[in-house]
Copies of this chain bind each other. A is one copy, B any other.
Amino acid sequence: MEPTRQLATFIATAPIEALPPSMLHEAKRTLINLLAVALSASMDESVPALEAWDGASGDEATVIGRGRTSSGRAALVNGYLAHLQDYDDTHFPSILHPSAPTWPAVLAAAESRGATGLAALGAFVLGAEAACRVAMSVHPWHYDAGWHITGTAGVFGGAAGAARVIGLDVEAATRAIGLAGTHASGVREAFGTNGKAMHAAQAAEVGLRSAVLAGRGWRGPETILEGRRGFWAVASPAGHDVSVLDGLDASMSRWELGQNGLKPYANGVVSHPLQDAAIELQERHGIDAGEVSRIEARVHPLVLELMNRVQPATGLEGKFSHQHCIAAALVDGAGHEAQFTDARVRDPLIASIRALVHATPDAAVAEDATHLEVTLRDGTTYSTHVEHATGSPANPMSDERLEAKFAALAEPVLGASRARALLDAAWHLDEASDVRGLMALTTSTTSP
């Protein structure tokens, strides 16, 4: 069987009831994470322009934190919200962010068609597997060439997830993947602009649209991966690995969602071990930040290459300052978007602590590790060693910590009680007769 059809067969026929419970649990965790970051992003000033850019309206689905619209617009805007803060999940083997292009397509399809919560969770597991497998098939050549893999491979996830919710058969799923895959797009030149999050947005919308149209009998290329003018040949001419698509089966032991990490901090992963360490010392010793006299860190050399900026001028620059990441973690005990505002970067206490950080590069320190030592004015010294940063596959974020992240991001938007209700709905989504109740809870203006 050709690779594209192999993938479509898996998507269309794998029994949801045979999926491992651990993967359905992981699907819930990615959903909770996505709801949290999307809710936080829903307050961004760029959002209203996207929501209503062409005067379209609709009532098929929900934009997280905003309200009802067409299913296409919901997929688009939710994809944008999910990726806007670079705070979504990461599939470590391919550096694809699987949730942002996949969940919005699945949710919009499920909302508009009244699919059960379990059907949505299962479709996401399969869609994420499709996106990750396609991503792995072209990694690292494709990303190195300049493609943003979350936009390109992501469109396969959106199409696959939506195809499963809609209930496409193998033939239609093959065409859906083809209609979507021809629009794989997004280049890294757009990093640092609103365009980056649009890669995930577009992947979600095009994935959903392709599944809907394939279900209406539209013809699409049936060999989008392996074809002479298909995705592998055209978008990854330097190399691809077909074997990555082998062994797709509901009973397989390795699932790519098992290689997926949730970020505890709203900045690049290289400083995450430092933030883990600072928060750990703060929590263990109740450090009074005003009493700190010196901070010594031993770090992987990338930390200094990518994130050495003692006094950042803006919130965004703060995300690229390991000094700010450490200081904010010590003072606030967190590294959410709230720690990367312009105001927080200008805070005098945080600024003074940034100046006390001394980091030494050490090639013997792994990328997800660090040694941190904090000295107080009275000479007291506290130190710790982080072996694997939180959110790496070797040290997944706990459910409790995920709940704390969710609360920190969702409560300012929804209020504590509604946020709690939304979290409960997500944890129990497999028991829900549809996803509409969950989505309604994401807006503060409608009743559950």
- List residues of A whose CB falls within 8 A of some B CB: 46, 49-50, 53-60, 69-73, 108, 112, 145-148, 151, 175, 178-179, 181-195, 198-199, 202, 206, 208-209, 212-213, 216-221, 223-224, 227-231, 233-235, 237
- When the two chains form their complex, are residues B55 and A209 in contact, meaning their CB atoms are under 8 A apart? no
Copies in the complex: 2
Nearest chain B CB to A74 CB, angstrom units: 8
Q: Which residue of B lies closest to A147 (CB)?
A: B234
Q: Given the known A-B contacts A54-B72, A55-B59, A58-B55, are A182 and B182 also in contact in the complex, defined by CB atoms under 8 Å? A: no
- When the two chains form their complex, are residues A50 and B189 in contact, meaning their CB atoms are under 8 A apart? no
- CA gap between A50 and B219 in the complex, in Å: 13
- When the two chains form their complex, are residues A195 and B209 in contact, meaning their CB atoms are under 8 A apart? no
Nearest chain B CB to A105 CB, angstrom units: 11
Q: Given the known A-B contacts A70-B54, A216-B49, are A182 and B195 also in contact in the complex, defined by CB atoms under 8 Å? A: yes
Q: Given the known A-B contacts A54-B58, A182-B186, are A193 and B213 also in contact in the complex, defined by CB atoms under 8 Å? A: no
Which residues on the B side are within 8 Å of A71 (C-beta)?
Answer: 54-55
Which residues on the B side are within 8 Å of A54 (C-beta)?
Answer: 58, 60, 70-73, 108, 112, 208-209, 212
- When the two chains form their complex, are residues A55 and B46 in contact, meaning their CB atoms are under 8 A apart? no
Nearest chain B CB to A216 CB, angstrom units: 4
Beyond A145-B237, A182-B189, A182-B198, 11 additional contacts (C-beta under 8 Å) are A49-B212, A54-B73, A54-B209, A182-B186, A189-B230, A189-B231, A189-B234, A194-B218, A195-B220, A195-B221, A202-B206
- CA gap between A182 and B183 in the complex, in Å: 11
Which residues on the B side are within 8 Å of A55 (C-beta)?
Answer: 58-60, 70-71, 112
Which residues on the B side are within 8 Å of A188 (C-beta)?
Answer: 229, 234
Nearest chain B CB to A48 CB, angstrom units: 8
Partner of A198 from the list B53, B146, B179, B184 (CB cut-off 8 Å) is: B179
- When the two chains form their complex, are residues B193 and A178 in contact, meaning their CB atoms are under 8 A apart? yes
Which residues on the B side are within 8 Å of A108 (C-beta)?
Answer: 54
Q: Which residue of B lies closest to A45 (CB)?
A: B217
Nearest chain B CB to A416 CB, angstrom units: 33
Which residues on the B side are within 8 Å of A181 (C-beta)?
Answer: 187
- When the two chains form their complex, are residues B178 and A182 in contact, meaning their CB atoms are under 8 A apart? no
Q: Which residue of B lies closest to A180 (CB)?
A: B195
Residue contacts A-B, CB under 8 angstroms, 8 given: A146-B228, A146-B230, A182-B186, A182-B198, A184-B185, A190-B224, A195-B218, A237-B237
Nearest chain B CB to A202 CB, angstrom units: 6
Q: Which residue of B lies closest to A152 (CB)?
A: B185
- CA gap between A178 and B186 in the complex, in Å: 11
Partner of A56 from the list B57, B192, B216, B235 (CB cut-off 8 Å) is: B57
- CA gap between A195 and B437 in the complex, in Å: 35
- CA gap between A71 and B186 in the complex, in Å: 23
Q: Which residue of B lies closest to A235 (CB)?
A: B187
Q: Which residue of B lies closest to A186 (CB)?
A: B182
- When the two chains form their complex, are residues A187 and B234 in contact, meaning their CB atoms are under 8 A apart? yes
Which residues on the B side are within 8 Å of A183 (C-beta)?
Answer: 185-186, 198-199, 202
Q: Which residue of B lies closest to A60 (CB)?
A: B55
Nearest chain B CB to A409 CB, angstrom units: 23
- CA gap between A243 and B219 in the complex, in Å: 39
- CA gap between A84 and B146 in the complex, in Å: 31
Which residues on the B side are within 8 Å of A192 (C-beta)?
Answer: 219, 221
